[in-house]
Structure 1
């Protein structure tokens, strides 16, 4: 086997160089993570512009997992949040997904506390069937904190019901990308400037040998990471195998807009519409609007008009996308990440999370220079399990929805994994275990119960606790949450305190 320079490659020789193609947040995240966590690697990046439909690079909202990603890089809150213009979020408020039911919140953290012989949600399900249950999200400290416009200002006391709250971010995309670029340069990442012209494959083994630039020069590496967006400019040169999700996830258009700023808020608002859904996020100095929809149900101009009517002042051109994933994101010496690997609508904000997870997996499963097929196969197996379950979680919102419009009614038979999840839950309120779950059981329960999916039978384990005792315990938990809320700062006050601290 020959290497990129024509020499003989020794099996199991360590990986020496990695090149990333893509200049968005995903590409810079990969460059920083690889150089920071594997310092011996020579890491280079060709920061070509990513297209408007590269959602992992274009959607501001993130899951709480981004905090752990920053921790692994040694990025402090001051750098990754405050100086880069980001703000905090605790979850999402969903409205209109089940007509006849009130809005509900999917927040990041536990719902209730287990007591007796059964999990908390079984007590709630029994009360719901008896007509005595308060809304499920009133038992979530994070949801109630966010509804009150407040944030966790300091580390909660050990054992506090607020101790397990998780926090996501709303990024200022340009400032955040600039921060990552500066950090990459500081770490010693080699930055190539130019426009990609040709990807050359080696005739001996089909590996990528080098990337040729338009006006001369080339980029060589042992491993190439494709962060170029949905077109997969590198990965497609090896094969273009793709799993199509459009029979289930029918949205294929997205338009974003910006409106006047308002007070920071810890909740996004996501509203179901006849042909898709609309979101609103309060960020620092601006309000972010977006609409994700099906072109078969809504015209592009009508979508833009809906955002203007929602007080958006700067509306972008709608972009098209097709949902699905690569069946093998890693092939030979090229691995696709971000939208080059998975395209999924931003409901639940999983786009950047999946890119970060892929980067973490590359680091932890780094192969030798020969990119052994067995190691690649295991990477692809794990990546496939993760993205399939994220697809199921997003699709669960549609599977559990109650709306009359054709967009919501005509959908292909659900994937077997989600169908099994829903069947098991609707029978007795239980959720099956899957490897590589992104979302916790509390998150699944928040969506299912929030949209009115009530199990047909109460779990037998609940019978050890009398209904009035369950009701009293749940009421006590809600009272404790409400009593503690006033001691937390508002989102505005929390941000002001943090900015004063770093300006000293």
Structure 2
């Protein structure tokens, strides 16, 4: 057993995919006295954080903590930019809408912008909500620019994610980690050796010395091959997220990659298309109770594609004793809204910030687990929102909408449907404007407007919103195309 207050010196990261190497790079870069070894187990097919290219804007913060410039991360790994996702056919008889990152409209008067929009929508005089988003307008036009520094500029107050080329990005983050001093170990995992107190003592390998460490970071995907040796507790989310199969079929790159993904609802799930610089990512997520694998393959337009089983849920205690599950090993969720790698990065940030001593005091691990659980629950709620608020009539969608939402989402929906108010939650992945974009895009319209809005006459609200749309349109017309911006960035980095 560890002596009280004895620091962690050696860490083994199990998993040789993007998540594992990202964890190792962050630990070694930010805590350089640690000895960090990656046990490079290949990621399994259901480790979506290692396979899915689109990311949330939070990836830039992760890169910044490592000391990686955005330009290097984009150019060296063949990434492209993404401003949001266009959702099509998610609500019966409703137009498509864009969930883009950052502000939607600017506040005026004494009420939030969306309250003015809600009043106009009830009067039948509202332009689509996403037409007030700088990122959405850029994305729809196929253009890209970084947000302006001046807060009053039309093209300010928005964020953007990346579209990674997973193999190239893995090579980059691995090379970076090795440069920082991370060690790599290959081999075949035979078993997990536990100490009498239940802590992990070592990874037993075929034909090699055991791998010992003070702390084990499990990045092996949903099977959690190390963490699962301690317990099998699991919180099942499948009653709310009914898709249990995924097909991924990447294709050649588009001539000019769009900074806007597509997520199209279909009879028994949804399919996506996202343009990367080196490949186009396509896939289909579906419920096997309503579609066979053959039907799904036909819907995606492929002949040979191996479906992967997924089971949405989370570990109530991702960190137990001296083993912490990260990424899909902690929380498994379909790639709707591209949260898989974000959850991994967020857990890695917490791991670095909250690293305990070798005794892994339960009070410290409890706070880590509390924060992870709160974040995972709201990511789940955001994904469930699409199913709960869909008006599609097919059996798959009727069954999904009939499930009572999780209590936290039900509270959000109840508050918003009454007067357009959003309750505060800790550890939110998606900001207020993202919730508004999806709620209103899915047709969730408040029953009443906030009384604060009455100090501004409807005509004045309409004029202010129209003026904002005009300012955005003019600014977007001056922005370069996404392809032109990428070419400019490549010239700057490689010259």
For 1:99 and 1:496, locate their aligned partners in 2 and report how far apart those are by CA, in whole Å. Answer: 40
Q: 2:19 aligns with which of 26, 29, 49?
A: 26
Deviation string for 1:367-418 (max 9, x for gaps)?
Answer: 0110000001111111000000100011011111110011111132111110
Match of 1:265 in 2: 258
Structure-to-structure mapping, 1:102-251, within 5 angstroms: 102-152=95-145, 155-203=148-196, 205-251=197-243
- Once superposed, what is the RMSD of the aligned Cα atoms? 1.2
For 1:377 and 1:268, locate their aligned partners in 2 and report how far apart those are by CA, in whole Å. Answer: 37
Identify unmatched segments of 5+ residues in structure 1. Answer: 3-8
Q: 1:436 aligns with which of 424, 427, 430?
A: 427
For 1:201 and 1:111, locate their aligned partners in 2 and report how far apart those are by CA, in whole Å. Answer: 52
| Alignment pair present for 1:401 and 2:401 | no
> What is the TM-score of this pair, normalised by structure 2?
0.98
Superposed displacement of residue 161, structure 1: 2.5
Greater alpha carbon shift after TM alignment, 63-72 vs 276-285: 276-285
Match of 1:459 in 2: 450
For 1:174 and 1:478, locate their aligned partners in 2 and report how far apart those are by CA, in whole Å. Answer: 40
**3-state DSSP class of the match of 2:284?**
strand
Superposed displacement of residue 315, structure 1: 5.2
**3-state DSSP class of the match of 2:251?**
strand
For 2:285 and 2:269, locate their aligned partners in 1 and report how far apart those are by CA, in whole Å. Answer: 6
| Alignment pair present for 1:70 and 2:63 | yes
CA contact (8 A) 2:243 2:285 kept: yes
Identify unmatched segments of 5+ residues in structure 2. Answer: none
Match of 1:377 in 2: 366
Match of 1:345 in 2: 334
Superposed displacement of residue 137, structure 1: 0.4
Q: 1:446 aligns with which of 411, 418, 437?
A: 437
Deviation string for 1:305-341 (max 9, x for gaps)?
Answer: 2222xxx6x8531100111000100000000011110
Tell me the matched-pair count.
492
Pair 1:154–1:63, CA change in 2 (3 A): closer
Superposition misfits of 4+ residues, deviation over 6 angstroms: none
Match of 2:247 in 1: 255
Superposed displacement of residue 189, structure 1: 0.7
> What is the TM-score of this pair, normalised by structure 1?
0.96
Structure-to-structure mapping, 1:26-45, within 5 angstroms: 26-45=19-38
Superposed displacement of residue 197, structure 1: 1.0
Greater alpha carbon shift after TM alignment, 402-411 vs 168-177: 402-411
Match of 2:296 in 1: 303
For 2:25 and 2:316, locate their aligned partners in 1 and report how far apart those are by CA, in whole Å. Answer: 26
CA contact (8 A) 1:153 1:489 kept: no
Superposed displacement of residue 156, structure 1: 4.7
Superposed displacement of residue 55, structure 1: 0.8
Deviation string for 1:20-72 (max 9, x for gaps)?
Answer: 00001000000000000011111111010111011111111100000110000
Deviation string for 1:341-375 (max 9, x for gaps)?
Answer: 00000000000000000000001111011000000
Q: 1:470 aligns with which of 461, 467, 478?
A: 461
Superposed displacement of residue 184, structure 1: 1.1
